[in-house]
Chains A and B, each alone.
Chain A
Amino acid sequence: MTKLFDLVRNELAKIYVLKSTWVMYLFLVALVIFSLIMNTVTDSVDSETTYTDDWETELQEENQTLMEEIETEGEDDPFIESTNMTLIEENTYHLENDIRPYGYNAGTFVLDNLFTTSLVSLFAIIIAGGIVANEFRWGTIKQLLIRPISRSTILLSKYIAVLLFTLLTLLFLIATSVIVGLIAYGLPAINPEIIVNRPEGMASNGMLSEIFMQYGFKVLNIIVLATFGFMISSIFRSSALAIGLSMFLMFVGTTAAQALAQYAWSKYILFANTDLSVYFTPYGPIREEMTVGFSVGVIAVYMVIFIIASWAVFTKRDVA
């Protein structure tokens, strides 16, 4: 076991000694700042409105203004009605359930930045696709294998390193979002209740728990892709193939599954299941009969297959 720790440490050292890895982290910072700039220049979020202890009156006044807006401008701008109605519904939910609103803040910024995790997917795929194949490309695989350590343990240490890299990178991204968000928007309360859209309608959830949940779903998605890349890397010893195929699946997997939704068997496609967040939005899964438990099961089966395939090939094959 202590050996496994040393091995994982070796693998992480080989990842983080590379400048290209640090460039990835720079990209993440840049993306978060880009998100902030977009927020500011496009007015896509309302970061001005704040609420005082008298928030109930303020919300009622706001609803009135929104209604008036629909009446006066609704004719020219058909979108105003739907946008404002959503806001009114939210405000009403706050009022009816006695949940104090806080306006745009660091937490909201972090949730809005969920899209930045695609970059983490990309980086996780690059690392997972290279971690075995690169040893073959560098020729170092021979030196790596002629040690008093079984091939299974070496492969395991590499897989753990991929998982750790993914988690560390995601934590770094979240931390960056939090810091940038704090500087730009501040944090009026540590863990405010926020309004969320669920399949059964509006509901509330703690900010931290919502962040944890949303990023958790993303991480699961990323790990599935990375495991796939890891398998291709171990079997074909080509990082280009591994990275290319995984990225292809990342971009078209979900869309393809949706396109095939009319067929009952489409629910067994991996990418029809990897995004568990669909079960917590009004959109729902691609087929009605699918449940969270079903998707978790499908993901587990695929992961086991990927891992066994990597292991079988890596431990058995001649290394020439």
Chain B
Amino acid sequence: MSDATMKVIDLHKDIGRKQIIRNLNFEIHPGEVFGFIGPNGAGKTTTIRMMVGLIGITKGDVVIKGHSIKKEYRKAISEVGAIVENPEMYPFMTGWQNLKHFARMSNGITDERIREVIKLVGLDKAIGTKVGKYSLGMRQRLGIAQALLHSPSVLILDEPTNGLDPAGIREIRRYIRRLAVEENVSVIVSSHLLSEIELMCDRIGIIKNGKLIATNDLNEENDTDTAIVNLDVNPKEEAIKVLRTMPNIEVLETVDRLQVQLKRDDIPHLVTTMVHRDIEVYGVNVTQTTLEDRFLEMIGENVID
């Protein structure tokens, strides 16, 4: 794998006597979308603030394209575009004036580049309107536009789906994927709702109480993982008997519908067995164990007994 765009090394943050972030370690690679998930107050925003140098680092470092945010702040930060917490812009200026304002703060951003970014986030029509009149979704878009102006290597978006409707989320997902795939940008998106960003991420890290408790590669897991299968078969009772005799299959539910859990690889075998026993198969409906379920298990907020 190519060199990491951003390395978070043994990151710690204390505020007063409180340890907010402890021993955070992870890397993000070019073209990768990293989901940073955790419940409210887990420390996502605090971590992001350290990544962009808004707050001091108690211990550890964040290295962006080989530059330490602590020691080479300007070099490191010029590789980063970010929205921290809310996409706040100057309400009394138009979208264009806001972008122009931030463009002047970096080097070599042409008006053409600004127009390109506006087009990417689909704000062409509203760009001459004062930001105070924007909806939250429009401000999110302008925030992303602002973060992309200087073509950063790392894009950090703190809760970009916050306040967006499903269509808006889908759209953000589209341009984040596009940026990662076409422009090889590394993207970090934080959220407390896994389901909202699951589909745009390549990898997720789960943070709880300031500690990274798991990282998970979403692309690899699909084939090895267990699956939950809803079966539409006739006769049902016969099928249940058959299923109970098979190894590695767990019958989860028999009342409303017939639901079993098994290794994904075993699904073809299950179907052939049914057919051989003269059970009529009308439907095999595979639902993945959702990441959300396991996420909740991990953070321990949803205990299944």
* Residue A1 lies at the interface, judged by CB distance under 8 Å to chain B: no
Count residues of chain A with CB under 8 A from any CB of chain B.
Answer: 24
Nearest A-chain residue to B74, judged by Cβ: A148
Q: CA–CA, A142 to B73, complex, Å?
A: 15
Q: Is the CB of A318 within 8 A of B56?
A: yes
Chain A positions within 8 Å of B56 at CB level: 318
Are the C-beta atoms of A150 and B73 separated by less than 8 Å? yes
**Interface check B110, CB cutoff 8 A:** no
Query: Which one, B4-12, B46-54, B235-243, is touching chain A?
Result: B46-54
Q: Report if A255 contacts B (CB, 8 A).
A: no
B46-83 Cβ-contact flags toward A at 8 Å (1 or 0): 00010011111000000000000000011101101010
Are A140's CB and B49's CB within 8 A?
Answer: no
Query: Roughly how many angstroms separate A18 CA and B91 CA in the complex, as a whole number?
Result: 11
Instruction: Say whether B90 contacts A14, CB under 8 Å.
Output: yes
A318 to B88, CA, bound (A): 18
Q: Which residues of A contact B102 (CB under 8 A)?
A: 143, 147
Query: A9: which of B84, B97, B104 is its contact (CB, 8 Å)?
Result: B104
Given contact pairs A13-B101, A318-B54, A318-B56, A146 touches B90 in the complex (Cβ within 8 A): no
Chain B nearest CB from A141 CB (Å) reads 9
| B-chain residues with CB within 8 Å of residue A320 when the two chains form the complex | 49, 54-55
- In the bound complex, residues from chain B placing their C-beta under 8 Å from that of A3 are 105, 107
- Complex Cα distance, B82 from A221, in Å, reads 41
Contact string, B79-123, partner A, CB cutoff 8 A, digits 1/0? 010101110111111000100011011110000000000000000
Contact B84 A146 (CB under 8 A): yes
Give Cα distance in the complex from A17 to B94, angstroms.
Answer: 10
Please, which residues of chain A bring their CB within 8 A of the CB of B97? 13, 17
Alpha-carbon separation in the docked complex, A146 to B156 (Å): 11
Instruction: Bits for A91-131, please: 1 = Cβ < 8 Å to B, else 0.
Output: 00000000000000000000000000000000000000000
- How far is the CB of A161 from the nearest CB of chain B, in Å? 13
Please report the C-alpha to C-alpha distance between residue A181 and residue B75 in the assembled complex, in whole angstroms: 55
B146 within 8 A of A: yes
Could you tell me which residues of chain A, from 136 to 157, have a CB within 8 Å of some CB in chain B?
Answer: 138-140, 142-150
Partner of A143 from B53, B55, B107, B146 at Cβ < 8 Å:
B146
Determine if B84 and A147 form an interchain contact, defined as CB atoms under 8 angstroms apart: no
Q: For the complex, what is the distance from the CA of A318 to the CA of B54, rounded to whole Å?
A: 6
Residues of chain A within 8 A (CB-CB) of B93 are 14, 17
Chain B residues near A (Cβ < 8 Å): 15, 49, 52-56, 73-75, 77-78, 80, 82, 84-86, 88-93, 97, 101-102, 104-107, 146
Which residues from chain A sit less than 8 Å from chain B, CB to CB? 3, 6-7, 9-10, 13-14, 17-18, 138-140, 142-150, 318-320
A-B contact pairs, 15 of them (CB 8 A): A3-B107, A9-B104, A10-B105, A13-B97, A142-B84, A143-B102, A144-B105, A146-B52, A146-B80, A147-B102, A148-B77, A148-B78, A149-B74, A318-B55, A320-B55
Give 10 new A-B contacts, CB below 8 A, not counting A3-B105, A17-B92, A146-B80.
Answer: A9-B104, A13-B101, A139-B88, A140-B89, A143-B89, A146-B53, A146-B77, A148-B105, A148-B106, A318-B55
